[in-house]
Structure 1
């Protein structure tokens, strides 16, 4: 079996909605002290509908944890703990997992090592074009095998990959009944998870019912705990303001809220788990024929920006300039930006790069004015148009002709992956839990052959990545950070601000993983 990188709907580098299966998160803080409610119903609000609950699709991956388990799990503090597997070991080319005994699928059939190997092989087969699985699995070819007598599942990669436990081990495992009829997975679950999808309504709500006898969750979590809800109802609430209102009135129990609406929820005794994000992750189009293919121009334009001012706009007055491409809590996250971003006199740097300006006229080189197309979308962050506007004003003051375009999400994706008609794109993301997630966006082919939509070509980054891929798990963090530093020095991309969303709970407590994904077995309902 071989794998190749397949384009996913909206680069995870900009929205990263499907990569919340890995990494670190937090436990919700709450003033709730009321008694627990057994066999109750918890109502959760999502911002968009789920047209498919297939955990390997681009849409179903975010809800996979309710109906599906993985071989291992990651705790809120980033530690790897048991899941379907009771033990595991990995190098940069092999991984072996030993299954717990007594695991059953939702249809009652026992889970075997062969069934797990089959799921890994199916999810990783490029012919199946499974965008959700792609965001979890290694981006190198691998083969999977099983020993049912020993209860072990093994995988071998064709090239070194350092995070096999945190990728192969975190794939939601679909049981054989689901693999036999993949189309059924859109509106039914066929996994070993703590809940089963029992009602699907187009556009929502969606209802999950707890499984009795489940005892193989994260670190051995089970469904017999007091306060664990018997039913989970997922409703679609597109507006953060509406979600905030429903939390305050008890119309819903759990919702993620960002922006100014978070202020209204303070002091009401709600549980709160913060989700780190990078607001304003900015890419510069370096494809041939675009002006920002010139690294000297990119560095000069980045030097001109007021990073603190941009961070204040991005977050709302008290912003902190971002320190890395991924959010705090990601594996290998470090404070890299200040020491590596270009810091020079922008006017002098432009002059040295051959750009001239007469009086208040346009900035020109070889008789051609500097024209830049700056695009963003409020659909992925309400403050992003204001961030882009401040950038545009700064560069206009230097003499650039900046066209600022605010797009809907489909148009933004089209510009990034189809037309390539942009010079700067400003997005927002929690980033990737693992540094390997950024590789296809900072290297390799451009669309449609790859995901490198900005056409980044940085030999130093490529060399550091090649070295880091041979260093197992977090032992290579220093090398990964040197790779990221090379991107910052070349102004290949610019993270604007470290921000946060918050997952709130009314009458509930819970834990989240990186990106705000709920841990189903952690949810507790109170009176």
Structure 2
């Protein structure tokens, strides 16, 4: 009899950042569950090694599939986009403050108690410049002040700068135990968290094995704990880079769960259940605005964007399975829903693009490449291979720019090399166009990629500077939650009209399962095995 899986309520609700994500929303088909399989093994595919397992310094999309087995967050968001308690039993939020009351009785993997101080220390650790966290500005506002009250079990974060989305930004970030904060290297390839599972074996590039903690009994309502019948005794995360191999193993039953993209998706979809289907921006780029770059000129950016058939690029990037990207934040829970991108990005008109560049002094030289004052209009274009269609999309972009006399130097690389390249100091002075396809559920987090400090102190990789956008973003901060969406739409409209950032493709990122049933949508890391 085929084994099946039921998703519980206590699973993943995580931020997936830095240029791509492996998270989203949706649930698989229902059905009658069978008898629980006692102490079974669940096997899940990863498409690449996650790297350092400390989320505070690693924003890798793949890590989002790994850390939720061992770590929990103050809250998670249900299928309706409503916050539910996890490590926090209650919370209060304003545009300048967020306070959690932490549950009692939560234990760390090393046997210590999870205290309010430890939760607060996670945020302090991220804010400490000496630690080089990737999440300052992305999750924790850089001006945040963190306080805790052990007697009341409260953790309070306050900021001078208002923020519309403090709870979804901070509340779903994982909490590490104090021993991990004291010795970050100790959790680079191990775990020390409060989750149902602990890592027992890590073979880089091959697999990660987790074992159930039988004394875990603080799951949120409806969740799975160490005594739940059918909770897997072991979880094996196998690294399988080839998408066809992942598809074959899933269909043969050697894998229980895997995300599948590309040409294999149709045959998998015909035989396996889509248990999670979350929209992701998969195609987008920013123009460098570093001093001296041709793309620092807004009119050049607009002309270059007009030269691109964004609809055609979307079809290539999504393998005809997606649509044009509509806004910064499309990941579930979708607190804001609007289309600011397609209505405000420069429209496709290569003839007008060529005329604009002529007027700006970028004229076609004898070799067919545009130049100005002896400088060729050559764009160094950095992109990563997270999605299999990206290389073809990058080639089409280069071809379309070439048709108006713009030369492109392609700098495609895998995620690790790409990430290192764009985070280098003064990278925006060496790169003219940078692929950015970041995903999160609220736009405030993603503005760190589009404004503010550049690396190594910030994440504004393209050195974007748009005072009008910044002013409109400031206006959003008087609102909290969904009330801020209208103001955010106005801010994004300004950014797209200036061609600072050009998101052009989004598609569903689908996780398939062989014999899996989703009990509660939008959950991932807490499963029950049943016959």
Match for residue 497 of structure 2 among 483, 489, 496: 489
Q: How does 1:175-214 map to 2 (within 5 A)?
A: 175-214=177-216
CA contact 1:145–1:153 (8 Å) conserved in 2: yes
Evaluate the alpha carbon distance shift between residue 40 and residue 143 of structure 1 in structure 2; reply closer, same or farther with a 3 A threshold.
same
Please give the residue correspondences for 1:347-366 in structure 2 after superposition, counting only pairs within 5 Å.
347-348=351-352, 350-352=354-356, 353-355=359-361, 362=368, 364=370
SS in 1 for 2:343: helix
Deviation of 1:43 after TM superposition, in Å, equals 0.8
The structure 2 residue matched to 1:459, chosen from 467, 471, 477, is 467
SS in 1 for 2:430: coil
Deviates more, 1:400-409 or 1:64-73: 400-409
Take 2:367 and 2:381, find their aligned partners in 1: how far apart are those partners? Answer: 24
Alignment of 1:472-487 (within 5 A): 472-487=480-495
Aligned pairs (5 A) from 1:37-76: 37-58=37-58, 62-76=65-79
The answer on whether the counterparts of 1:273 and 1:511 sit within 8 Å (CA) in structure 2 is: no
1:393 and 2:395 matched: no
Any idea what the Cα deviations from partners look like across 1:266-288, whole Å, max 9, x if unmatched? 22243432232212211112222
User: Partner residue of 2:119?
Assistant: 116
Q: Which of 106, 111, 114 matches 2:109?
A: 106
Q: Residues 116-153 of structure 1: CA distance to partner in whole angstroms, max 9, x if unpaired? A: 2233323432222233x547632223233333333322
More deviation in 120-129 or 231-240? 120-129
Kindly tell me the number of residue pairs found equivalent between the two proteins. 506
Q: CA deviation at 1:374?
A: 4.9
Q: Are positions 1:315 and 2:286 aligned together?
A: no
**Residue 525 of structure 1 aligns with which residue?**
529
Aligned partners of 1:373 and 1:405 also within 8 Å? no
Cα displacement (A) at 1:356:
6.8
| Alignment-derived partner of residue 434 in structure 2 | 425
Distance 2:366 2:80 in 1: 53
Where does residue 371 of structure 1 map in the other structure? 377
Distance 1:134 1:259, change over 3 A: farther
Provide the secondary structure at the position in 2 that maps to 1:251: coil
Taking structure 1 as reference, are residues 505 and 310 closer, same or farther at Cα in structure 2, changes over 3 Å only?
A: same
Task: Check conservation: 1:301, 1:395, Cα contact below 8 A.
Answer: yes
CA contact (8 A) 1:273 1:512 kept: no
- Which segment is superposed worse, 303-312 or 343-352? 343-352
CA distance in 2, matches of 1:367, 1:129: 41
Q: Does 1:126 align with 2:153?
A: no
In the alignment, what sits opposite 1:450?
458
Q: Which residue of 2 aligns with 1:14?
A: 19
Inter-CA distance 394–182: structure 2 relative to 1 (3 Å threshold): closer
Once residues 26 and 442 of structure 1 are traced to their aligned partners in structure 2, the CA distance between those partners, rounded to angstroms, is 29
Match among 72, 76, 86 for residue 89 of structure 2? 86
How far 1:13 sits from its partner (Å)? 4.7
Q: Aligned equivalents of 1:32 and 1:262: distance in 2?
A: 26
Distance verdict in 2 for CA 1:358–1:48, change over 3 Å: closer
Aligned position for 2:345 = 341
Counterpart in 1 of 2:3?
Answer: none
Q: Are the counterparts in 2 of residues 32 and 270 from structure 1 also a CA contact under 8 Å? A: no
Once structures 1 and 2 are overlaid, which stretch shifts more, 63-72 or 263-272?
263-272
> Residues 359 and 105 of structure 1: is their aligned pair in 2 closer, same or farther, counting only changes over 3 Å?
closer
- CA deviation digits over 1:209-261, x for unaligned, max 9? 22235343344523244432122111211111111111011111111111111
Cα distance in 1 for residues equivalent to 2:413 and 2:19: 14
Is this contact kept in 1: 2:28–2:276, CA < 8 A? Answer: yes
Note closer, same or farther for the CA distance 1:87–1:354 as it changes in structure 2 (3 Å cut). same
CA distance in 1, matches of 2:112, 2:260: 39
Give the conservation status (yes or no) of the 8 Å contact 2:274–2:510. Answer: no
Residues 271, 226 of structure 1: alpha-carbon distance in 2 compared, 3 angstrom cutoff = farther
Q: Does 1:95 align with 2:98?
A: yes
CA distance in 1, matches of 2:398, 2:257: 38
> For residues 344 and 271 of structure 1, what CA distance do their matches in structure 2 show?
35
More displaced 10-residue stretch of structure 1: 251-260 or 29-38: 29-38
Paired position in structure 2 for 1:332: 336
| Shift in CA distance, 47/141, structure 1 to aligned 2, threshold 3 Å | same
Map Cα deviations across residues 25-74 of structure 1 (whole Å, 9 max, x no partner). 22233678654423211011112224433343316565222112211112
Q: 1:348 to 1:240 in 2, by over 3 A?
A: closer
Distance 1:295 1:310 in 2: 22
Change (3 A) 1:405 1:218: same
Task: Please give the alpha-carbon distance, in whole angstroms, between the structure 1 residues aligned to 2:512 and 2:136.
Answer: 29
TM-superposed deviation, 1:198? 2.5
- Residues 155, 325 of structure 1: alpha-carbon distance in 2 compared, 3 angstrom cutoff: closer
Runs of 5+ consecutive residues of structure 1 not aligned to the other structure: 1-10
Structure 2 CA distance for aligned equivalents of residues 445 and 511 of structure 1: 43
Q: Which residue of 2 aligns with 1:4?
A: none
Q: So what's the TM-score if we normalise by structure 2?
A: 0.85
1:315 to 1:267, Cα distance in 2 relative to 1, 3 A:
same
Call closer, same or farther: CA 1:259–1:422 in 2, change over 3 Å. same
Distance in structure 2 (CA, Å) of the matches to 1:135 and 1:504 = 33
**1:89 to 1:242, Cα distance in 2 relative to 1, 3 A:** same
